[in-house]
Amino acid sequence: MPRDATQNDLAPPVASSATSQVNPHGIPGATPCSTPYATPGRHILADFRGVDAGLLADVAALERELVTAAQAAGAQVLSAHFHHFGAGAGVTGVVMLSESHISVHSWPEHQFAALDIFMCGAARPEQALERLRAALAPLTVRVTIVDRG
């Protein structure tokens, strides 16, 4: 069940005596996830409002920040694909991880970014969120955390 969390109210992992084993997406070379959560993964949805419009239209900067956030979370980056929709328009991008993915959809004209951080295993999605919060400097953040599986 999704739950809304405030800016600094990120839920800790759910205690469990069992450890789930998951091979994310069946990607060759990807290591299976052994997760500390009671479910196979943690999915963080974040709405960032009040982000600098120039940053939200900068495809290279957004890709760099999402890759850096994945690394800060201890995730293994497999690939990245980003698309800029033209002058003054937004960016859609995804960083594929051995542990799942991080994605962004930006609307510079609204100073808004929708972020999706899904990770399993020892990766720490909360760390990715904090790294992106520091890098994008939103005025407000709305977070929903879903334990998947």
Give the residue numbers marked as catalytic.
Answer: 100, 105, 120
Calpha distance 111→96 (Å, rounded): 25
Sign of CA dihedral 97, 34, 126, 148: positive
* HSE-CB for 112 with a 13 A CA cutoff: 6
| CB contact set of 120 (below 8 Å; sequence gap of 6+) | 20, 22, 24, 33, 35, 37, 40, 41, 42, 99, 100
* HSE-CB for 3 with a 13 A CA cutoff: 11
* HSE-CB for 121 with a 13 A CA cutoff: 18
